Amino acid sequence: MTKRAKILIGILLFLLIGLVLYYLLILRLERVTIYDQGTYDPETGELYADNSCNVIGINLHGEIFTYVPLENEEGDYASGENIISELQEIEESPEYESVKAVLIEIDSYGGSPVASEELSNMITDYNLPVIAMIREGGTSGAYWVASASDRIFASKMSDIGSIGVTMSYLDDSKLNEKEGYTWNSLSTGKFKDSGNEQKPLTKEERALFERDLNIIHEEFVKAVSVNRNLPIEKVRELADGSSMLGEMALEQGLIDEIGSYKEVEEYLKTKYDFEPEICW
């Protein structure tokens, strides 16, 4: 073999080794993309907790629903079933064995009472400490969820509380009458089309809706009383549907501390004796 041939073979081997190393590096970067919450594997679609993370952050932002259709997942919604599923994964999966607490960041003015109750119950029975941090707002159903946590932090200017229930809607019947439209009810059962905005609300229908609203309201009051260890009469006094800013909420026992991330980290460090590393 000539000297020139040996040189060419050496160059080809060098290039081949370089390509292999390059391919392995790219593959590694694609497979091990580190996000705030852990390691994402594009082949399996799995997100694994980073071993350095000992606190997992979960966002509860926007209106709360029991579930959110896939086509709407990019909107400003909080899906109860998704958050519950994430909490279960953190609690049960060995990938999260280093996690010692969960931080729920709340910026929501409520939503479904069913989803709020389900999330509250999940947090109440959770095996790990759950900290709630309210930002702009934590009212109505969002406060119901927050009340179940082990400790609630909020800003002095956060909107807190609004312990109440609403199902108000716009009645278009007079506009329809003005425009010459007629509502024809083709329903079985006199209450079947109750609440339809195309017709006036009768006294019987109003009484029916208010009955259900009062039942939900009482459940809300009881939950806050138990979750916050407050006398139920005190909660009833606060449960007029109004909200209050953080300082007043602290005075009334609706939250535990004024603060944000820094205060949350200091609390976790002091209360549970570990250096918190929060991942989202």
Closest listed residue to residue 103, CA positions, set 78, 73, 76, 130 = 130
Query: Would you state the structure tokens that stand for residue 167, as one six-digit string?
Result: 């199902």
pLDDT, tens digit, 9 for 90 and up, residues 241-273: 999 999 999 999 999 999 999 999 999 999 999
Cβ neighbours of residue 103 closer than 8 Å, sequence gap 6 or more: 55, 56, 57, 58, 130, 131, 132, 133, 264, 278
Residue type, 176: N
Q: Measured between alpha carbons, how far is 53 from 274 in angstroms, rounded to an integer? A: 12
Asked if the model's pLDDT at residue 49 lies above 80, the reply is: no
In the chain, the domains with their CATH numbers are: 33-165+240-279 (3.90.226.10)
Helices (H) and strands (E) in the chain, counts: 9, 13
- What integer best gives the mean pLDDT of the chain? 88
Q: Count Cα atoms within 13 angstroms, Cβ side, for 86.
A: 20
28-37, 56-65, 68-77, 122-131, range with the lowest pLDDT: 28-37
Q: Count Cα atoms within 13 angstroms, Cβ side, for 113.
A: 16
Q: Measured between alpha carbons, how far is 147 from 55 in angstroms, rounded to an integer? A: 20
241, 166 contact by CB (below 8 A): yes
SS3 156: coil
Rounded to 10 deg, the angle between the 203-228 and 113-124 helix axes is 20
Asked if the model's pLDDT at residue 28 lies above 60, the reply is: no
